[in-house]
Structure 1
Amino acid sequence: MKIERIELNNFGSYEDLNFFDVMTDDQSKRIIVIGGKNGAGKTTLFTAIQICLYGHASFGFKTSGKRYLKEIYDLINNQARLDETKSAYVKICFSESRIDTDHYEVTRFWTWSNSIITEIFSVKQNGVLLDEEAAMNFQNYLLHLIPPELHKLYFFDGEEIADYFLDEQHNNIKDALLILSGNDTYELLYNNIRRLLNGVESGNESIAQNYADQRESLAKYSQEEAQLIGEIVELRTDVERLEADLNHENKAYAANGGVTLEVWKDLQNALKDEEDRRERINWKLKSAAAEILPFIIVKDLLANVKEQISAEKDLQAYRILQSSLNTSQFKRCISNIMKKTSSHSPAEDTTLLVNAIQSFFENQDLENKTPIFMLSEDDGLSILNKIAAVEEYKTATFSKDRRRIEDSIQRSTKIRTQLQKSSIENFESHVKCVSDLTNQIERLKSELTGKETALQELQDRTEELKKALNHSRKALEAELKKQSVSALSDRMLLLVEELQEQQYKKLIADVEHDLNRKFRELIRKDDFVDQIYLDNDFSLHLVRNQAVEVSALKLTAKRHGAATLKVSLKQAGFQSLMTQLNTTEESLGFALADCDEETMILPIELDYTRFSNGEKQVLVMSLYWAIMNQSHNKLPFIIDTPFARIDTEHRANITEKFFKELQGQLFVLSTNEEIRHEHMVSLDQQIAKVYMLEYGEDKRTRISEGSYFEVK
């Protein structure tokens, strides 16, 4: 199969008709290089080719339903989509050589109205339009030529291919490898023999029939598992899409000033709190102005008042004392005391003593004082306390309170601004939208949980069936030794199965050999990996020979046993250890105890997930090359972002040892940071056409033939 022309009309950024005429008569020139910066339209071209050839299958959909048509509608050129009189299509012209060379035109044509899109699929063979049935048969032929399992191998996205090869789903690669190499034919042969066996009359229940039934059940389980995995992936995609819609709704509501009812109430309450705070401060200032401020104004007079009140208090005490000294009671007290003395003239002495005491307590300053206020004791104390409060009052409090009022006004202004920018006008519709999206997400998550549970149960049943199948196989082998009737068909089942297993082992060995050779050519590091193994599940095992201390092996075996040692060393290392010690797993502990060596060279498995991105990409491209080397068909490759994770050091090597040796037509979609001038020079003898994609300010892609960045 060789692509000769690609046309895109109103597809993606390709407005109106755009085409790539890649036909050439020189069979040695098989590489087409299409350059363009990010966003120029390379990935759109990559997608268009897949859609044209495979339709809904390019997205992994089972049918051309609403989801597929929605994907197509999103890919139609934005300007063209506004005009419902326009149309869009992708056309690929290619030749296919079997007995004769046939020329085909495959077209997917789209029209739209009210956002509803219609697709027309047509095929021309040697210029003759095929009818609908023949066109669908040709579609099935394309799906057989490059089945969905092989899409990622022929449509190679450098940024995603590593995840495809290095994830835990090894079955997709295994199935792809069987189809590539033609080994899926054994499965067809097995099913045909089984149908033949079903037609053989037998007087008793055939063990082979039971074995074949179990094989069929296992195949059905595999189909159900694949379907469940596909449904789980779709559900997860839908959940992610709805969660993105929910996030977008919340952001859009917030961007338009939308707030929740609680936030709105909080802002209103905060505004009221600020108003209450200012009211309290103003009341405090008014109170101080009425009770304190007048006295502060006459603060100097208050000192005189305080002094006068104190003097009047002293005068009052003085007069009380003087009055007490002039009482007859005081004089009798003195007279009685004098009588008890040895005084010769008590009356005279009494008069002298009373006069002396009165003279002692006499205070002329107080005598000259004139009372003004004549306050009671309680009133005087109250006024003195008020004066003390005025004297202690700090006038800075007025300034502090004014600043507090100003700060509160600023906060109120800020809150009012927030309220003006905020809105609860669309709150109800927002809540309803959020509720609907949340309910959909919860429903899908519940369905997803159910599917995941069903998948786990199915996988458990599959494991049980595999055990039963193994038991049935052994029973069939035993029965075949006794039976001769129907033995041919029975033995053929086992023969085909055994032959398929042998061929698959050979296929694994061929891939393993090519993988090791290509990886050493590309990695540019000596002794990076000594050997790469592939097991029957197509899991990768990279080992490097390293010296291991025997004492550590002895300690592990002694403490935890050979089973732990097997887990630690992995399969290759453990097998090498037993081989070098010439022992079995059961006797490994004794053999290690008798070992006198200090170190042993063992193949230690490396964790390739810890490799650098460049090293992982080299590993993936080596594996890819090894797998594609098993193909019996020359089909075109479309490679987008070829050097996605490859460092500069390895790019020249990959250009020489990968691109130049890959069989079949090759489309390379590259930025100026990937395929550069030196790579173009290296590939020059195999380059058929060069194109440059440029995305202009008018938001459309233009194609320039014969140009490639600095290469003209």
Structure 2
Amino acid sequence: MILRAIHLENFGLYAGRQTLDLVPRGRSVVLVGGRNGAGKTTLLEAVRLALYGRRALGYRVAQSEYELYLRRRIHVGGDEPCTEASVGLEFDYAEGHERNRYVVTRRWTAKANQVAEVLHLEKDGAPVTSVPREEWHSFLHELIPPGVSQLFFFDGEKIAEIAHDGPDEGLGEAVRGLLGIELVDRLQTDLGLYLARHAKGADRAAAERYEQCVRELVACDEDCQRLSDDVDELRSVHAGHERRVQNVRQRFVSEGGDAAGQRISLEATRAEVRGQIGRRETELKELAGGLLPFAMAPRLVKRFADALHEAGDPGAEVALAVLRQRMLEWKATAEPTREAAWKKAHWDDLDRFLNTEGASKVGAELSWLEPGERRSLMARLEEVRGKTSERARLLASDLSAMTNRLRDLEAELQRASGQGTDSVLEELNEAQIQLSAAEAQLKARQEDLRHAEYRRSTLQREKRKLEEAQVEARDAAGRVSLAQRVGSVLQRYEEQLLDLKLAQLKAAFVERFNHLVRKDNFVADVRIDRATFDTVLIDADGRELHKSSLSAGEKQVYATAMLWALAHTSGRELPMIIDTPLARLDSEHRTALVERYFPAASHQVIVLSTDTEVDSELLDRLMPNVSHSYHLDYDHDRRATSVRPGYFGDTDGSHDALQQA
């Protein structure tokens, strides 16, 4: 696939009609430069919108939300308000041995409370007729699946998502989607449904449960996809608020002097204290889910321990009976001689005591426990009375102290806020409030996603068990028997295919990671769990290198190499669009990506960068691989961006394909 051009008309910051020619001219890289807020991400947004329409915003976005989005993306910077906008994409796509040229244009008009959208799709200069117009959306999705495009058209946030220290969420989905394994799952599901519909007698209940399980799984997949899209969108919003807070904070530092410096120091301390509080709360929750509840009932624990101890001494009851018999003999014979004057009330008290002691032997109820089990229970009870209680007290004390410390810091921050830079400080406070709200919303949606993924995992396990039960059944004949054998073969095929593809992915990743990190044999192998897709790097000496042990730059390189390896292993010939790829890297790793990744990532690589990412030094290194470049020039007075040839004013006269209306 080759992206030939992007057409924008009154879209976002772009006023009028503008076109970027993207056809590589002997070199693979097309460089687009623009400062923050000039419209680089808008270009990536336009590509996704042209191809996927409403699906570009998420899996389950309501039509009303989509129309509101389209209305807001109409340019508003001119003297006269615009009511119409469009995005278009022209590209070549090879099908079999034939290359076809497609032009997709998405135009919309806002009138009153309605937004009317029109999709136009051409193939080789004529409207597509082989597919009904109402199915053009689906045709584009099949041509370039949205899930695949996310790994070819991505921004720095995608790299950050893969580079984080937690599990590789989404890597499994990417592997199964990119490498075609989901097709095998679909075939197995279809076979399971076929077997379910042909089941008879006692198997009918299991068959009905299987069909219900499939329906629930489809609904759960939709929920997971929707929540995943929501999480991605909220991550983007959260990142935007983070950037705003950072920008305002920089202004505050430059304008506020010592007060601003003091505030930043206090904020750093507050963030550290909040992190400590979060870690101790997590540990306290883990204790609460374990032995801590027993520590809240020390008398009950003691009684249980005594009962266990007594259950381990089967001679206790015999000793008690002997004692009672000896007491009766002593009462009858007075031997040995009693010095005190024992009355009937004394003997009655002693008898009641022995009766009560005998009745309290609840340990007999636990005599069925094996000695090893009793020892294990005793050890856990000792842990409750010892370490667990003490640890809980320490955690509670730490939490109380840290909460007081946090309250003091908040007060100090409030006092530091009163020293100058009032307007900037007010803006900073507002940005931080918005950031906190976005963070809370993101965490809540991530929690919803985890619950949905757990539900999906549970349904998948149940579905697999039902499929295995169906495959193992041998009483069916004819086509049912054949379907069972095919299902068994498909299951083995999926396992072998996954092993093969993971082996290819690992080899591709190791090669690319070492190539980018500029350390020969820094990583000798990588282990990818075939169930969870968690990754562990292996060095030349066979030692494990967990992702969390890598430097910040190496984590970014890890994410870039993984995306590169996935794209390579997928076998799809798609161009790369990379938005702000170097923002989180140091100079050494930036140089590595410029020299080793951009020129080789794909046959066409469109890099959207600021002048601080690809600066003059890196530009000199990249230029031998640059076909041509553009500069996004934002005019504050017009509130509009114009596309000009050259990278930040370096016009070389080679951009004759640039058109501007």
**TM class, shorter-length:** 0.5 to 0.7
1:7 and 2:4 correspond: no
1:513 and 2:513 correspond: no
1:702 and 2:642 correspond: yes
SS in structure 2 at match of 1:672: coil
Aligned-residue identity in percent: 27
| Residue 628 of structure 1, CA deviation | 0.6
Using a 3 Å threshold, how does the CA distance of structure 1 residues 673 and 234 change in structure 2: closer, same or farther? closer
Using a 3 Å threshold, how does the CA distance of structure 1 residues 518 and 652 change in structure 2: closer, same or farther? same
Please tell me the residue identity of whatever aligns with 1:6: I
Structure 1 equivalent of residue 581 of structure 2: 642
- Give the gaps of 5 or more residues in structure 1: 245-440, 547-601
| Residue 499 of structure 1, CA deviation | 0.5
Instruction: Measure, in 2, the Cα distance between the counterparts of 1:234 and 1:707.
Output: 31
SS in structure 2 at match of 1:95: strand
Instruction: Measure, in 2, the Cα distance between the counterparts of 1:105 and 1:13.
Output: 23
Instruction: Measure, in 2, the Cα distance between the counterparts of 1:510 and 1:120.
Output: 42
Structure 1 equivalent of residue 68 of structure 2: 70
Q: Where do residues 595-634 of structure 1 align in structure 2 (5 Å cutoff)?
A: 603-606=543-546, 608-609=547-548, 611-634=550-573
Using a 3 Å threshold, how does the CA distance of structure 1 residues 167 and 188 change in structure 2: closer, same or farther? farther
SS in structure 1 at match of 2:516: helix
| Residue 511 of structure 1, CA deviation | 1.0
Structure 2 equivalent of residue 21 of structure 1: 21
| Residue 138 of structure 1, CA deviation | 2.9
CA-atom RMSD in angstroms: 4.2
Please tell me the residue identity of whatever aligns with 1:663: S
Using a 3 Å threshold, how does the CA distance of structure 1 residues 90 and 492 change in structure 2: closer, same or farther? same
| Residue 522 of structure 1, CA deviation | 1.4
Rg bigger for which structure? 1
1:89 and 2:86 correspond: yes
Contact 1:35 1:672 in 2 (8 A): yes
Structure 2 equivalent of residue 120 of structure 1: 118
Instruction: Measure, in 2, the Cα distance between the counterparts of 1:16 and 1:151.
Output: 28
Structure 2 equivalent of residue 275 of structure 1: none
| Residue 620 of structure 1, CA deviation | 0.4
1:664 and 2:658 correspond: no
Using a 3 Å threshold, how does the CA distance of structure 1 residues 111 and 495 change in structure 2: closer, same or farther? same
Map Cα deviations across residues 303-350 of structure 1 (whole Å, 9 max, x no partner). xxxxxxxxxxxxxxxxxxxxxxxxxxxxxxxxxxxxxxxxxxxxxxxx
Contact 1:544 1:603 in 2 (8 A): yes
Contact 2:50 2:104 in 1 (8 A): yes
Scaled by the length of structure 1, the TM-score of the pair is 0.55
Contact 2:52 2:137 in 1 (8 A): yes
Using a 3 Å threshold, how does the CA distance of structure 1 residues 196 and 673 change in structure 2: closer, same or farther? same
Contact 1:22 1:688 in 2 (8 A): no
| Residue 472 of structure 1, CA deviation | 4.5
Using a 3 Å threshold, how does the CA distance of structure 1 residues 167 and 88 change in structure 2: closer, same or farther? farther
| Residue 95 of structure 1, CA deviation | 2.0
Please tell me the residue identity of whatever aligns with 2:88: K
Instruction: Measure, in 1, the Cα distance between the counterparts of 2:234 and 2:35.
Output: 32
Contact 1:210 1:472 in 2 (8 A): no
The partner residue of 2:146 within 145, 148, 155 is 148
SS in structure 2 at match of 1:668: strand
Structure 1 equivalent of residue 137 of structure 2: 139
Using a 3 Å threshold, how does the CA distance of structure 1 residues 614 and 455 change in structure 2: closer, same or farther? closer
SS in structure 2 at match of 1:101: strand
Map Cα deviations across residues 355-394 of structure 1 (whole Å, 9 max, x no partner). xxxxxxxxxxxxxxxxxxxxxxxxxxxxxxxxxxxxxxxx
- Give the gaps of 5 or more residues in structure 2: 243-436, 653-661
| Residue 618 of structure 1, CA deviation | 0.5
SS in structure 2 at match of 1:688: strand
Structure 2 equivalent of residue 541 of structure 1: 536
Please tell me the residue identity of whatever aligns with 1:518: R
Paired residues in the alignment total: 454
Map Cα deviations across residues 581-606 of structure 1 (whole Å, 9 max, x no partner). xxxxxxxxxxxxxxxxxxxxx73443
Instruction: Measure, in 2, the Cα distance between the counterparts of 1:498 and 1:649.
Output: 45
Scaled by the length of structure 2, the TM-score of the pair is 0.59
Using a 3 Å threshold, how does the CA distance of structure 1 residues 656 and 535 change in structure 2: closer, same or farther? same
Instruction: Measure, in 2, the Cα distance between the counterparts of 1:476 and 1:169.
Output: 34
Using a 3 Å threshold, how does the CA distance of structure 1 residues 710 and 676 change in structure 2: closer, same or farther? farther
The partner residue of 1:687 within 601, 623, 626 is 626
Map Cα deviations across residues 202-246 of structure 1 (whole Å, 9 max, x no partner). 576389958964873673364155157359759989999xx99xx
Contact 1:55 1:64 in 2 (8 A): no
Instruction: Measure, in 2, the Cα distance between the counterparts of 1:674 and 1:204.
Output: 67
Using a 3 Å threshold, how does the CA distance of structure 1 residues 234 and 20 change in structure 2: closer, same or farther? closer
Instruction: Measure, in 2, the Cα distance between the counterparts of 1:526 and 1:173.
Output: 26
Instruction: Measure, in 1, the Cα distance between the counterparts of 2:87 and 2:150.
Output: 20
Instruction: Measure, in 2, the Cα distance between the counterparts of 1:468 and 1:62.
Output: 26
Instruction: Measure, in 2, the Cα distance between the counterparts of 1:457 and 1:464.
Output: 11
SS in structure 2 at match of 1:661: coil
| Residue 532 of structure 1, CA deviation | 2.5
Using a 3 Å threshold, how does the CA distance of structure 1 residues 477 and 704 change in structure 2: closer, same or farther? closer
Please tell me the residue identity of whatever aligns with 2:70: I
